Structure 1
Amino acid sequence: MSSILSGQRLTYETRSGDRLVGGVSLDVEPGDRLAIIGPNGAGKTTLLRMLAGTLRPTSGAVNLFGEPLSAMPPVKRARRVAVVGQTDQPDHRISVRDYVALGRIPHTARRSGAEEAAIIRDALERTELPLLAGREMGSLSGGERQRAQIARALAQEPRILFLDEPTNHLDPRARGALLALVADLGLTIVAVLHDLHLVPGFATRIAVLKQGALVACGPVEETLDRHVVRDVFGIDLLRLPHPHEDRQLTVFDIPLTRSTGASP
């Protein structure tokens, strides 16, 4: 299976010379749910933004469907990828339906009014928002707002959906529900996740960053092992039999200590 998104030796340095990401290469294949993980400051969001085309790398290249992303017109890119970022701040006064409709901007005048309405309605239904369509964005809970942002992205009809820490500020049950919804969309997903407990149930592949470098990349079961977790995060990973179900539990043993650095 050929990749639909490919990054080659991606490097990003700030104007002051700080290297946030250095020499990262990876491929994303159709149907992947790739989780980018790593400790704070590892370069996760920077890498995601370079892959999505919202940040130009200092060096290296990204190819999307075999074309250089840097040369792709913004409208063409927006018809292929959608991004839900950490800092998205929709106008609190806009209705959920009108906010989701903003996702149709890259497709202006390409379909009839009835077709446009059907696409928006489908995006609302897939994110379980029809009953909230008339509400103002400012009246939504955190989980509802995240679903509205994903619905807007779906209205773009993307081939790849990028999510930057989509479960931030949600309670544990809402985090699981949101990622279950995303996993069922049938899209290729690239997501930055900070909660390791969510990774095994959501991702098909992971990319592990440490200090801006890619230290591991591959299928979750093969790549997320105790040696990688201890080296990168300084905690232990345990796989234990579930006491009530015929499956394993992945447990991260996080000690309550003052130290925040990974063990040597």
Structure 2
Amino acid sequence: MRGILSAQGLTYETRSGIRLLDEVSLDVATGDRLAIIGPNGAGKTTLLRMLAGTLRPIAGMVHLLGEPLAGMRPVKRARLVAVVGQTDQPDHRIPVRDYVALGRIPHAARRPGAQDAAIIRQALDRTELLHLAGREMGSLSGGERQRAQIARALAQEPRILFLDEPTNHLDPRARGALLALVAELGLTIVAVLHDLHLVSGFATRVAILRQGRLVASGPVEETLDRHVVRDVFGIDLLRLPHPHEDRQLTVFDIPLTRSTGAFP
């Protein structure tokens, strides 16, 4: 095992026998920002949940800091791992500050102290939510709500942060801003990303799934090439010079035509 997280032979089936993940193995090093990508139904969220310890595989193992995740006490896991899911629905009436404070539950005694308050304030500050701390969660915009969920996760002081499609329902500019914020946190990140255009700018490594199997895994520029993208997604990847800056643009050519098998 290298780094912080290691998975060997992860396999998962539904009760009806449908295999959602098939013998997936990968490593995540400390400081990695790993993007898990693939078509709809490829097993991305299933893999994320197993890596985070919220879903147990029928075969295979996950090790976190060298310890089997399945045998780790929930409180210890919650001090190491934070998860921001795509279906999180916080109570709309709860103030932002109190929502973020929920992240201290794995650490705090019966009465949160001054250190907990300082950590909560820092989480709000890092996600630019201090000025909204007294607002109710239901009054926030989509981007503000996503930042509040990340602030709650930061309040856990995790070693690794898991994000399941964190840019859902955000406009293009807000997507870029949210991932830029996450990239600057200095944490090890594992994120399911639906928008391929965001991968190169955010991730240091990528894991590509298709029909529950790991097709490729490695550094983004080496792994996300035109042949893999064409084979897995059925679209073209182009790398073009930026017209105004000294860098390349990664462009995905998505034709607006209907084709057999395009829908899940």
> In which range does the TM-score fall when normalised by the shorter chain?
over 0.9
Matched, 1:56 2:56: yes
- Find out whether 1:88 has 2:103 as its counterpart: no
**Aligned structure 1 segments of 4 or more residues deviating by more than 4 angstroms:** none
Aligned residue number for residue 118 of structure 2: 118
Q: 1:233 touches 1:261 (CA, 8 Å); kept in 2?
A: no
Corresponding position of 2:174: 174
Q: Which residue of 2 aligns with 1:147?
A: 147
- For the structure 1 residues 135 and 255, does the alpha-carbon distance in structure 2 shift closer, same or farther, using more than 3 Å as the test? same
TM alignment of 1:175-194, pairs within 5 A: 175-194=175-194
Distance of 2:261 and 2:117 partners within structure 1: 51
Report what 1:137 is aligned to.
137
- Indicate the RMSD between aligned Cα atoms, in angstroms: 1.3
Q: Please give the alpha-carbon distance, in whole angstroms, between the structure 2 residues aligned to 1:218 and 1:111.
A: 44
Q: Which residue number corresponds to residue 217 of structure 1? A: 217
Unaligned runs of 5+ residues in structure 1 are none
Match of 1:13 in 2: 13
Q: Distance in 1 between matches of 2:109 and 2:134?
A: 24
Aligned twin of 2:46? 46
2: distance between equivalents of 1:138 and 1:109?
A: 28
Following superposition, the deviation at residue 112 of structure 1 comes to 6.5
Unaligned segments of structure 2, at least 5 residues: none
User: 1:261, CA displacement in angstroms?
Assistant: 3.7
Letter in 1 for 2:67: E
Q: Which amino acid aligns with 2:159?
A: R
Separation in structure 1 between the aligned mates of residue 114 and residue 128 of structure 2, nearest angstrom: 21
Question: Is this contact kept in 2: 1:124–1:130, CA < 8 A?
Answer: yes
Equivalent pairs counted in the alignment come to 262
* 1:158 alignment partner in structure 2: 158
Q: Is the 8 A contact 1:129 1:148 kept in 2?
A: yes
8 Å CA contact retained: 1:234, 1:261: no
Classify the secondary structure of the residue corresponding to 1:107. Answer: coil
Change (3 A) 1:29 1:260: farther
Deviation at 1:258, TM superposition (A): 1.1
What SS does the aligned partner of 2:161 have?
strand
What is residue 100 of structure 1 aligned with on the other side?
100
C-alpha displacement of 1:111: 9.3
SS at match of 1:106: coil
Separation in 2, partners of 1:193, 1:2? 24
Write the distance in 2 (CA, Å) between the matches of 1:261 and 1:175.
Answer: 28
Deviation at 1:15, TM superposition (A): 0.5
Deviates more, 1:204-213 or 1:110-119: 110-119
Letter of the 2:239 counterpart? R
Other-structure match for 1:201: 201
| CA–CA distance in structure 2, aligned partners of residues 255 and 159 of structure 1 | 40
1:194-243 CA-partner distances (Å, limit 9, x unpaired): 00000000000000000000000000000000000000000000000111
Question: Is 1:77 matched with 2:81?
Answer: no
Q: Which amino acid aligns with 1:108?
A: A
Which residue is equivalent to 1:252?
252
Percent identity of equivalent pairs: 87
Matches within 5 A, 1:221-236: 221-236=221-236
Whole-angstrom CA distance in 1 between matches of 2:76 and 2:111:
16
Counterpart contact for 2:37–2:209, Cα < 8 Å: yes
Give SS of 1:149's match. helix
Q: Please tell me whether the aligned partners of residues 39 and 232 of structure 2 are also in contact (alpha carbons under 8 angstroms).
A: yes
Separation in structure 1 between the aligned mates of residue 261 and residue 66 of structure 2, nearest angstrom: 40
Q: CA deviation at 1:88?
A: 0.4
**Aligned-pair distance for 1:3?**
2.0
Once the two structures are TM-superposed, the CA of residue 260 in structure 1 deviates from its matched residue by 6.1
Q: What is the letter of the counterpart of residue 66 of structure 1?
A: G
CA distance in 2, matches of 1:144, 1:245: 30
Taking the aligned partners of 2:197 and 2:171, their CA distance within structure 1 comes to 13
